[in-house]
């Protein structure tokens, strides 16, 4: 299995950037074949000091293999998400990939 975790920081000047990002992930990313598990959501507040609460949205995808994740990266829907949703709505993203 291969996990692909993306942490997004939205642009503060766009009041509905979080909603746009969530809707865009559902529209463009969820339908991509090869994803075993798809989960996108808002940052969940925590009282624990070790929990990073500086971001707005996280995406957690699980693939059967590293090769499947590589195919996802060049899929036309993923590329469309990057151009139409990520770039306009986000100021930063950090990605964690692990096997």
CA 86 to chain centre: 9
Instruction: In whole angstroms, give the CA distance from residue 25 to residue 32.
Output: 10
pLDDT in tens, the chain (99 residues): 999 999 999 999 999 999 999 999 999 999 999 999 999 999 999 999 999 999 999 999 999 999 999 999 999 999 999 999 999 999 999 999 999
pTM listed for this prediction = 0.94
Class of CATH domain 12-44+54-98: alpha beta
């Amino acid at each position: 299995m291969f996990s692909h975790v993306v942490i997004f920081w939205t642009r503060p000047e766009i009041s509905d950037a979080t909603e746009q990002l969530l809707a865009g992930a559902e529209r463009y990313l969820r339908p991509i074949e090869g994803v075993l598990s798809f989960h996108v959501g808002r940052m969940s507040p925590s009282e624990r000091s070790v929990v990073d609460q500086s971001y707005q949205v996280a995406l957690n995808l699980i693939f059967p293999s590293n090769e499947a994740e590589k195919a996802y990266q060049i899929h036309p829907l993923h590329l469309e998400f990057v151009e139409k949703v990520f770039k306009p709505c986000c100021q930063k993203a950090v990605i964690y990939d692990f096997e």
